[in-house]
Amino acid sequence: MTTHDAEQQQVLLDVQGSLGRITLNRPKALNSLTMEMVTAVLDALERWRADDRVRTVLIEGAGDRGLCAGGDIRAMYDAVKAGEPEHTEEFWAAEYRMNAALSHYPKPVVGIMDGICMGGGVGISAHGSHRVVTERSKVGMPEVGIGFAPDVGGTYLLSRAPGELGTHMALTGAPVSGADAIHCGLADHYVDSSELHELVNALTEGDASAVLDKYATTAPDSGLRAAASWIDEVYAAESVEGILTELRSRDEPEAGEAAETIATKSPTSLKVTLRALRSAARLNSLEEVLDQEYRVSLACVHRGDFLEGVRATLVDKDRNPAWSPAQLEDVGEEHVAAFFRAPTNGDLGLSG
């Protein structure tokens, strides 16, 4: 394969020794996921499932900025504006199937969450068996900032983080460090970024767990762990309005900063996200949660603030979204409930 050919391929696939290597290859777009990429990953996983040469699967990102910034939401926006929302629906259906496949894969899946790992980047790595972060990791689910809600199994993961840390992450949309990701259950191993090349080389011949035990070091102290006492108290409130009231009453500067951040997000997305998290905590499997997220994702496009959020963030880039409704108190329970109803074209059906 020539250098030009490699640059044209959105996913690079290679078997090196006993390692099946998946490299997301859109570095200029921070490896944001397209339908072509999701399909390529699914095909590789299926092919390597029965390939005795492959004992471990690696998922990494090309370039030096990060694993993946999420799904290609600009492409989704363009499809909906062109009157072709089915492309967005098909993408999410395939992506969520990939998330589920990764969580049950019969061979070790090592995800390198170095640098930026947001949204769909979390989905393609944090459901694997061996999740690696570094001192450069910025891990998060920023969807409420674009009129969306955490998906790709994000509400499954965040609802199972210690205490209310996942609620804090989901409603602020702020990225966290590698140490915080480990504390929240989004990652397992802390490796210095300077060791990643050697780690990957070792994975071509060695057992995944043994290799990671060799290269992993103790993570620094987690800032979220230190803040857990006030976060748990504040985010236990039953409503977004109640959470904001509690945040504004605290003495901790971080609480006031969180309140200011949350107040800029889509009121609809905030209320839908809080309900989705609380519901996900009661569901028994990742597949059940992905089915729920599929409903919510489609509703965000058809009745939520997704188009306006993407317009303000990526299209016009004015950073001044006109949320509708604009105030939390105007987002009624019936409006929120509608996001969780079965779509007219049918459920995703991962949970059977």
Active-site annotation, residues: 71, 120, 143, 151
Q: Are the beta carbons of 112 and 58 closer than 8 angstroms?
A: yes
Which two tokens mark 89?
């629906």
Block residue for tokens 């070091």: 217
Cα separation, 300 vs 50, in Å, equals: 38
- CB-side exposure of 213: number of CA atoms within 13 Å? 5
Taking CA atoms, 291 is separated from 92, 343, 344, in Å, by 11, 11, 14
DSSP string, 249-291: H-S-HHHHHHHHHHTTS-HHHHHHHHHHHHHHHH-SSHHHHHH
Q: Are the beta carbons of 331 and 268 closer than 8 angstroms?
A: yes
Cα separation, 155 vs 237, in Å, equals: 18
* CA 254-259-261 angle, 5° bins: 95
Residues pairing with 189 in the sheet = 132
Please tell me whether residue 71 adopts helix, strand or coil conformation. Answer: strand
Beta strands (DSSP E) in the chain are 11-16, 19-24, 56-61, 66-68, 109-112, 116-118, 130-133, 138-140, 189-190
Cα separation, 344 vs 352, in Å, equals: 18
Cα separation, 183 vs 231, in Å, equals: 14
Cα separation, 239 vs 77, in Å, equals: 30
Q: Please provide the distance, in angstroms rounded to a whole number, between the alpha carbons at the two ends of the chain.
A: 41
Q: Give the number of other CB atoms < 10 A from CB of residue 52.
A: 7
